[in-house]
């Protein structure tokens, strides 16, 4: 189902922002109240040198942070509804300006708290009155060597809004300004968009796929100088921030604040690289099954098995997801239905709407989910994925105090991907149609290919690009394309043609503007597959452990949180388990295909 205007969409398929603020005027009032509070935050400057004043400051923060978060959320959702809505964009600009002022006014806090002696910090951590803040205090204690003077922190904070503009500029370009030529489908000219492009890659006509691929990438190639400048500037900012805080690399800085051992990252890259052969075998099988003389990069998404894609209206798809997630408990499914009735979800694609999908959660209101739903198996899986994020936020926010409620990015993809795996396992176990089963096996392989393998490739590219900057090499689009194409060839092997356009793929990945984020998709699916298999194999005990994991927020370091759910990423075992799962699934598919 598609709509030419947002106003045409039935209300039940749009999110209800009145749960945050009833009217824009209420938002305006809250924003002004926060702006008026900024001097009160700043009044603590120079006073955070004793336990009592620090506790008072922390409690003051807690008292007002919820409203600050809601003001941010309302503006964030509004600007994502339509990138060309000037009122919404103005609102978002005002929020970012407010955050810059607030960040500058409070930049003294961490340096002043950090300046206290190790003994004072340890005393606060042991004091029950600080129990809601012990995780933050432990990170301050751990990061004493990386927190600068109050004046230096103030200067850095004053540049925060400017340094964040590279991502904002990319988003505006990607969602509003890039122009694509129309694609001919069944004799009709179809306007190209992110969602339509994704759909056309599943089209059975190779000429349609090729046309969509070339025209989609031409949109990026036409502005590649701008895109490479934006990305190179973001990488430079990342390295400057890391170096300023006395880290040896951007990766070291990113993993430090995630509280993740770097050997998890190293394990991922090493284990994926040693297990590329099954992926190459799958790509070769895809070429054979599709009967193509030449397999192209735009042929990697078209279904290998015809007439088996699951096409459902959104409500039917949502009901299917609820059934698949029933092993997680009746109360879990009840909240899923509550989310639909209370309009947590913005369902359909419209002009100017942010592409892709996400979930965002804040204390003080339920989570919100953005979709761009199309009737494909992949989009049904996306419902399960994003609702996994939402449920993680729902349980974490409902269990932990504010300072511990926001789970680390490292574990952010586990609940979402676990839902996807449970959905797939449910479909495989309930279908009696051999053709559909073949399709689902290919879907699982493609899920691992695009999430475990592809995101690991992204992670390796990100490591390379940041290392180049750290060595003083200039990041031009030519050398970025060269490195990306080398990785593409290594990961996908010789059975596929590495079309020249694919070298530019890095230029359209929004997550690259958040340094060392993408590898967590790989570790996330590895953890999720292990957890889902435990749930289905062990039942209540595994569910109880997993449900406890969902409530932990950031009350523990993320690697330890995963151990609660039964996954130890400090070893090679989880990586090897999922690599074997890929190889075993490939063999099962080959048997059904008679190969």
Residues with catalytic roles: 386
Burial class (CB in 10 A: 0-12, 13-18, 19+), 317: buried
* Count of C-beta atoms within a 10 Å radius of residue 35: 15
Within 400-433, residue ranges assigned H as helices are: 402-405, 414-430
- 5 burial type by CB count under 10 A (0-12 exposed, 13-18 middle, 19+ buried): exposed
Q: Which residue has the tokens 């989009």?
A: 379
**Residues 9-15: contacts with CB under 8 Å, at least 24 apart:** 9/347, 9/348, 9/350, 11/343, 12/343, 13/314, 13/345, 13/346, 13/347, 13/348, 14/343, 14/346, 14/347, 15/77, 15/343, 15/344, 15/345, 15/346, 15/368, 15/369, 15/370
Strand runs labelled E in 182-246: 183-185, 188-190
Asked whether the beta carbons of 169 and 83 are under 8 A apart, the reply is no
> 3-state class of 360 per DSSP?
strand
How far is Cα 425 from Cα 420, in angstroms, rounded to an integer?
9
Q: Pairing relation of β-strands 295-296 and 496-497?
A: parallel
Query: Helix 573-593 to helix 519-538 angle, to the nearest 10 degrees?
Result: 70
In degrees and rounded to multiples of 5, residue 184 shows phi and psi of: -85, 120
Among 553, 250, 558, 575, which Cα is nearest to 410's?
Answer: 558
450 to each of 344, 446, 456, 507, how far by Cα in Å? 27, 6, 9, 17
Task: Please give the C-alpha separations between residue 586 and each of 302, 533, 589, in angstroms, as whole numbers.
Answer: 17, 18, 5
Q: What's the token pair of residue 356?
A: 């892709």
Within 8 A by CB and 6+ apart from 223, the residues are: 173, 178
Q: What token pair was written down for 292?
A: 């193509």
Backbone Cα Rg of the chain: 24
d(C-alpha 367, C-alpha 392), whole Å? 9
How many residues belong to the chain?
A: 595
The torsion angles phi and psi of 445, rounded to 5 degrees, stand at -60, -40
Alpha-carbon dihedral of residues 332, 338, 340, 346, nearest 10 degrees? -90
| Coil/strand/helix, residue 190 | strand
Closest Cα to residue 555, out of 168, 6, 135?
135
Specify whether the backbone of 363 is left (phi greater than 0), alpha (psi in -120 to 50) or beta.
beta
Terminal CA-CA length for the chain: 38
Nearest-angstrom CA–CA distance, 26 and 564: 42
Instruction: Check: CB of residue 403 under 8 Å from CB of residue 136.
Output: yes
Grouping H, G, I as helix, E, B as strand and the rest as coil, residue 301 is: coil
């Amino acid at each position: 189902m598609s709509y030419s205007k947002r106003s045409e969409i039935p209300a039940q398929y749009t999110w209800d922002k009145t749960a945050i603020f009833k009217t824009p005027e209420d938002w305006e009032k809250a924003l002004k109240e926060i702006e008026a509070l900024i001097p009160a935050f700043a009044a603590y400057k120079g006073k955070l040198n004793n336990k009592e004043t620090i506790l008072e400051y922390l409690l003051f923060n807690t008292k007002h942070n919820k409203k600050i978060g809601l003001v941010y959320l309302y503006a964030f959702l509004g600007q994502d509804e339509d990138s060309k809505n000037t009122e919404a964009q103005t609102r978002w600009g005002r929020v970012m300006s407010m955050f810059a002022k607030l960040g500058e006014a409070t930049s003294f806090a961490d340096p002043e708290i950090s300046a206290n002696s190790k003994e004072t910090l340890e005393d606060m951590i042991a004091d029950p009155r600080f129990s809601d803040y012990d995780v933050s205090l432990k990170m301050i204690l751990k990061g004493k060597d990386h927190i600068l003077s109050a004046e230096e922190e103030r200067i850095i904070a004053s540049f925060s809004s400017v340094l964040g503009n590279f991502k904002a500029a990319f988003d505006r370009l990607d969602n509003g300004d890039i122009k694509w030529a129309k694609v001919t489908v069944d004799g009709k000219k179809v306007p190209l968009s992110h969602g339509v492009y994704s759909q056309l890659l599943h089209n059975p006509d190779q000429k349609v796929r090729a046309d969509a691929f070339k025209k989609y990438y031409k949109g990026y190639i036409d502005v590649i100088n701008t895109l490479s400048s934006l990305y190179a500037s973001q990488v430079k900012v990342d390295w400057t921030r890391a170096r300023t805080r006395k880290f040896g690399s951007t990766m070291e800085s990113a993993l430090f604040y995630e509280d993740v051992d770097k050997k998890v990252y190293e394990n991922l890259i090493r284990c994926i690289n040693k297990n590329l052969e099954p992926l190459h075998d799958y790509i070769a099988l895809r070429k054979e099954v599709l009967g193509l003389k030449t397999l192209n990069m735009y042929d990697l998404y078209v279904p290998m098995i015809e007439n088996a894609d699951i096409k459902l209206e959104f409500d039917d798809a949502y009901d299917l997801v609820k059934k698949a997630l029933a092993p997680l408990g009746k109360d879990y499914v009840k909240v899923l239905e509550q989310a639909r009735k209370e309009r947590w979800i913005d369902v359909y694609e419209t002009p100017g709407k942010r592409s892709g999908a996400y979930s965002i959660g804040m204390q003080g209101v339920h989570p919100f989910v953005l979709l761009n739903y199309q009737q494909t198996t992949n989009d049904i899986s996306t419902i399960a994925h994003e609702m996994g994020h939402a449920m993680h936020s729902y349980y974490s926010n409902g269990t932990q105090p504010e300072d511990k409620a926001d789970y680390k990015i490292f574990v952010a993809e586990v609940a979402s991907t676990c839902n996807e795996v449970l959905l797939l396992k449910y479909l495989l176990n309930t279908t009696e149609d051999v053709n559909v089963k073949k399709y689902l096996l290919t879907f699982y392989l493609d899920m691992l290919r695009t999430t475990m393998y592809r995101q690991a490739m992204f992670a390796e590219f990100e490591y390379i690009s940041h290392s180049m900057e750290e060595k003083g090499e200039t990041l031009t689009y030519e050398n970025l394309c060269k490195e990306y194409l080398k990785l593409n060839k290594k990961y996908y092997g010789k059975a596929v043609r590495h079309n020249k356009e694919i070298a530019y793929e890095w230029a359209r990945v929004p997550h690259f503007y958040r340094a060392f984020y993408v590898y967590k998709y790989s570790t996330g699916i590895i953890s999720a597959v292990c957890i889902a298999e435990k749930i289905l194999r062990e039942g209540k005990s595994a569910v109880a452990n997993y449900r406890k994991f969902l409530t932990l927020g950031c009350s523990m370091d993320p690697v330890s949180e995963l151990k609660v759910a039964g996954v130890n990423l400090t070893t090679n075992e989880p990586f090897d388990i999922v690599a074997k799962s890929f190889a075993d699934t490939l063999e099962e598919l080959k048997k059904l295909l008679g190969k």
